[in-house]
Amino acid sequence: MSKSDLPYSDGFWWSNDGLRLHYRDYPARPENAHRPPVICIPGLTRNARDFEQVAARLAGDWRVICVDLRGRGDSAYAKDAMSYVPLTYVQDMEALLREQAIERFVSIGTSLGGLITMLLASTRPGRVVGALLNDVGPQIEAAGLARIRDYVGQGRSFPTWMHAAWALAEVQRPVFPDYAISDWLDLAKKTMKVGAGGRIVYDYDMRIAEPFAVPGGEAGVDLWPSLAALAPVPVLIVRGALSDLFSTATAERMLQMLPQGRLLTVENKGHAPSLEEPAVAEAIAAWLAEVDAAALATTA
Eight-state DSSP code of residue 67: E
Sequence letter at residue 49: R
Kindly report the CATH number that applies to the domain delimited by 3-141+216-299.
3.40.50.1820
* CA 61 – CA 289 distance, rounded (Å): 11
CA angle 137, 74, 138 (to 5 degrees): 5
Do you find a cis peptide bond into 131, omega within 30 degrees of 0? no
Domain ranges of the chain: 3-141+216-299
Eight-state DSSP code of residue 43: -
Q: Which helix (H) or strand (E) holds 194?
A: strand 192-194
pLDDT at 109: 98
Cβ atoms 62, 35 nearer than 8 A: yes
Write out the DSSP string of 126-172: TSEEEEEEES--SS--HHHHHHHHHHTT---EESSHHHHHHHHHHHH
Cβ atoms 139, 257 nearer than 8 A: no
Cβ atoms 211, 220 nearer than 8 A: no
Measuring CA to CA, which residue among 111, 119, 102 is closest to residue 72? 111
* CA 133 – CA 139 distance, rounded (Å): 13
b/e map 188-212, b = 16+ CB within 10 Å = bebbbeeeeeeebbbbbbbbbbbbb
Residue segments in the chain with a per-residue pLDDT below the cut of 70: 1-6, 213-220, 296, 298-300
Query: The whole model's pTM is what?
Result: 0.94
Which residues are CB-neighbours of 226 under 8 A, at least 6 positions away? 118, 119, 121, 122, 138
- The long-range contacts involving 182-190, CB below 8 angstroms and separated by at least 24 positions, are 185/161, 188/161, 188/164, 189/49, 189/161, 190/46, 190/47, 190/49, 190/50, 190/52
Cβ atoms 35, 63 nearer than 8 A: yes
Cβ atoms 10, 73 nearer than 8 A: no
What are the C-alpha distances in Å from 54 to residues 38, 46, 119, 200? 11, 15, 23, 25
Cβ atoms 110, 270 nearer than 8 A: no
* CA 123 – CA 238 distance, rounded (Å): 23
